[in-house]
Structure 1
Amino acid sequence: MRIVVRAHDARLARDAQALLATAGVEAAALPGAYRAAPDGEDISIFAAMSGDVDDVARLAVTSLAAEPAPLARLIGLKSGSPPALGLGPASVFTSAIALDAPSKLLSAQVEACTRVAIAEEERARRVLTAAEYGVAPVEPQERRKLKALYIGAPSTMFLALERVLADQGGLVAAAFSSYAGFDHLHDEPFDAVVLNGAQDASTAISLCAALRRNASLYHLPTMLVTAPGDIATATAAIARGASAVAEANAPCGPSLGWLFEAVRRERRRRAAEHDIRALRDRMGDSRTGLFKRAAFDAHLTRLASDHHVSGRPLSLAVLRVLPAPGSREPSDAVWKRGFNEIASLAGRLMRDADCGTAIGRDFIAVAMPASVLKGARRTAERIASVSECTAFASGEGGAGPLVFEQSAVEMQPGESGAAMLARAMRALEVEAIPA
């Protein structure tokens, strides 16, 4: 992603650039009045660490007419000056990041903002493809009440959290043990979880890590409460994906502000990916969960056109599924059933923003927006390696041992979507990569 830091003051822009570099985020600094970035711009970060939010907002407004527009406009604030509480829609800025946050947290914030931006762009693109394909639009998800879960020993933080959420029309559920907490998390949806580690830091850290190991809870905004001065626990929590850290018996306003920002961002991601999946299903094959071929071709054409305009990379992977050398030849019915299962598995192993289809009786293609060649290769390898380990690949009535040939390409200047797909499939004939 091409990230550009902007501010009227050159020193502020360079300071923000340095903080991002410390977090492993490469960005160009472009101070002064708004002008187009010479190498293109995917994510704009408007540095407001001096506290002059109105000044950077005016600068950001001038970017609204940019062509092509950046994927996201982020405001870079200090950790102690988070955005306002609440779930209201964004105005000029699509999200906020804490430029002086610990490097791991800052990197995670930028990554999360990028993920949301890619998903929202893909949703808009699929809406257009669906309309072209004659598919009805998706009904938006019903907006539900804000809800958080507090896990741990009773404390004043629970009362503060309850008061803040009540002011926003939300509520807090409490679980005073980790077992009860995970029962709650599996039984009902929450916008955030607050872990009290002031009395039992090791259990809170373990819970924070457990959330990251659970696919359905991986992105759940999490705040961990530490004992006063417990920097080690705070650092460990951030390393395990916590969105915010607060000290017990200290003002928690800034930490709750960043927790709310994570909740806003996560709600947007869920809404975008819900619509993406719904549109895929409406244009897809119910047996595999992948796009039907005609819809895939139409969407790939749109993907290629959009990425040529934006200058962002577009990659594509193709896998060919074959019986292993020396294995028995399966019947057509057995092969069709096994291939459909492989295709269905492939659909679950790609990002929601990716677009896949089955081609013929043995090819699977996956188009990946805003992804470089390395990402396409990684996706192809993941699908092949997981598929080779599945039970339906062998055994009584199965298709027998399978091998997967892989090809990955990145779109070249002036190349159409159809030409990119043809190039990837030709590569399997001359340069197959065994999984």
Structure 2
Amino acid sequence: MGRELDVLVFGLSDRVEALAEKLGRLALNCRLVRADSPPARRHHYWAVGVVLAECDRDVEDGMKAFQRFAPGERPLLVVGPDSYGPTDLVDAWIREPASAVQIAARIRALFRLHTMEIIARRRTEVSALYGQKPGLVERQDQPPCVLYVGDASPRFMALQHTLASVDAEVIAAFSSYSAFDYLHERAFDAVVLNAAGKRDIAFTISSAMRRNARLYHTPVLLLTDDVDPGAAEEAFARGVSDLLPPRTDDDELRERVLTLTAERRRRREAKAILESCRDTRSLDIETGLFHPAYLVSHIQDLLNETGRDQLHFSLIALQTLLPEGSERPDDVSAEKARRQFAAMLRHLLRTEDAAARFEDDVFLAVLPFTDPAGIDCVAARVAAIAECTAFESDDPLRPFRLSVRAAPVQTRPGETADALVERALASLVRPRPIIASA
């Protein structure tokens, strides 16, 4: 289902309340905004704005209503009729009829992309304070490359023809075996699966891509027969990004594919910017994590933005505990294990997250746009991986395991970064225990 998000919804029809109710069942807390809604009484971060449009004017009215109710930067998703198409004013557009599951999937995808881009900007600003110049990020100006998987059907020819009109490259894989060969050889901006008559195979490929860390964020579009709502919901639950029914004309087909390829490229660029901030001036070379001073500066910058309702974040304090008694390792082995844990921690966190080692056995991680349930999930995952790992001691035949104590920490209004870090480290004394299932 995904994490809970708070979403603004605008619409003039009676259907808007039904949509908000359905999205609520998918962990999206909706606040209906009308054209005459007054400004919100309290500050709050809203992840995405959704406009249920009957005409082009509704989009403009919805944007004005959102800014009047809760000013700020947020992605905008429009659910509209055939007459409305993509514009520079909105981040994504879905043609009606659209299921709540499809809308929820697009909301979460837009939010994840928006998160990475915001944190990339903030971290670049902090890196500049340390004398670090913006890294050289490869420009994403080459033509899009799309992988088609399926039979050489008329719909494949239509896809190839319409994408060729914008110089996009289409590589065809006429079997699932060759498809995975291509996917492991090179990066694609999107994958189009011909699911007509072969829905199960398409679902299998999509599910497999979502289980692969490298392919997880590659958009998947399905060329479908007319599908019932139940099949559509299953498709989105299996990680499909969009459904392209037979009535989709060539122009719309091209725009919907290119919209998702553009989002994929924006994500790659944001990730590259975040990786470029990993510099000798910001990193602890021994652990591969950020310097504590750099992380404190990053936290202060995020707190400044939080005060302007531009974002929110949480911290998690982690302490590694050595086994007691005869299983306790020597100091050299213990330090080696902690450094291995630091490397594991870095790869268990998202690119937009940041972590540093503050004491020999204490680590602190910053998790942007993460609620308490998400923090608990991260803590349990880190603890479980650590407790399943055998660390080498001075006796190769007697490896040992680390246990992890975790304490989630929420920010407080007006708090400085130094005070927040001090409170986070102190919370390990009386933490809320995280039990790992190894």
Q: Which range, TM-score by smaller chain? A: 0.7 to 0.9
SS in 1 for 2:408: strand
Aligned residue type for 2:6 = R
- Which residue in the other structure is 1:186 paired with? 184
- Measured on the aligned residues, the alpha-carbon RMSD in Å equals 3.0
In the alignment, does 2:157 pair up with 1:159? yes
SS in 2 for 1:391: coil
- Which residue in the other structure is 2:344 paired with? 345
List per-residue Cα deviations over 1:145-193 (Å, max 9, x = no partner). 2010111111111111111211222110001111101000110111111
- Which residue in the other structure is 2:10 paired with? 6
SS in 2 for 1:336: helix
Deviation at 1:203, TM superposition (A): 1.6
* Alpha-carbon distance between aligned partners in 1 of 2:81 and 2:285, rounded to the nearest angstrom: 47
Given the alignment, which residue of 192, 195, 207 partners 2:193? 195
- Which residue in the other structure is 2:98 paired with? 101
- Which residue in the other structure is 1:77 paired with? 79
* Alpha-carbon distance between aligned partners in 2 of 1:251 and 1:287, rounded to the nearest angstrom: 56
Deviation at 1:139, TM superposition (A): 2.0
- Which residue in the other structure is 2:409 paired with? 409
- Structure 1 unaligned blocks of 5 or more: 85-89
Aligned residue type for 1:3 = V
Aligned residue type for 2:35 = G
Contact 1:209–1:240 (CA under 8 A) maintained in structure 2: yes
Q: TM-score, normalised by structure 2?
A: 0.87
Deviation at 1:433, TM superposition (A): 2.1
Deviation at 1:434, TM superposition (A): 5.5
* Alpha-carbon distance between aligned partners in 2 of 1:378 and 1:232, rounded to the nearest angstrom: 29
Aligned residues: 427
Q: 1:342 to 1:44 in 2, by over 3 A?
A: closer
Deviation at 1:229, TM superposition (A): 5.3
- Which residue in the other structure is 1:26 paired with? 29
Aligned residue type for 1:38 = R
* Alpha-carbon distance between aligned partners in 2 of 1:348 and 1:339, rounded to the nearest angstrom: 14
Percent sequence identity over aligned pairs: 27
Given the alignment, which residue of 34, 54, 58 partners 1:50? 54
* Alpha-carbon distance between aligned partners in 1 of 2:432 and 2:23, rounded to the nearest angstrom: 39
Q: 1:110 to 1:300 in 2, by over 3 A?
A: same
- Which residue in the other structure is 2:370 paired with? 371
Contact 1:287–1:344 (CA under 8 A) maintained in structure 2: no
Q: 1:82 to 1:337 in 2, by over 3 A?
A: farther
Contact 1:130–1:279 (CA under 8 A) maintained in structure 2: yes
SS in 2 for 1:154: coil
* Alpha-carbon distance between aligned partners in 2 of 1:397 and 1:420, rounded to the nearest angstrom: 42
Contact 1:79–1:101 (CA under 8 A) maintained in structure 2: no
SS in 2 for 1:392: coil
- Which residue in the other structure is 2:118 paired with? 121
List per-residue Cα deviations over 1:194-238 (Å, max 9, x = no partner). 112224332222112111111111121111223455766544322
* Alpha-carbon distance between aligned partners in 2 of 1:314 and 1:352, rounded to the nearest angstrom: 14
* Alpha-carbon distance between aligned partners in 1 of 2:413 and 2:95, rounded to the nearest angstrom: 36
* Alpha-carbon distance between aligned partners in 2 of 1:3 and 1:369, rounded to the nearest angstrom: 17
In the alignment, does 2:108 pair up with 1:111? yes
Q: TM-score, normalised by structure 1?
A: 0.87
* Alpha-carbon distance between aligned partners in 1 of 2:175 and 2:32, rounded to the nearest angstrom: 47
SS in 2 for 1:428: coil
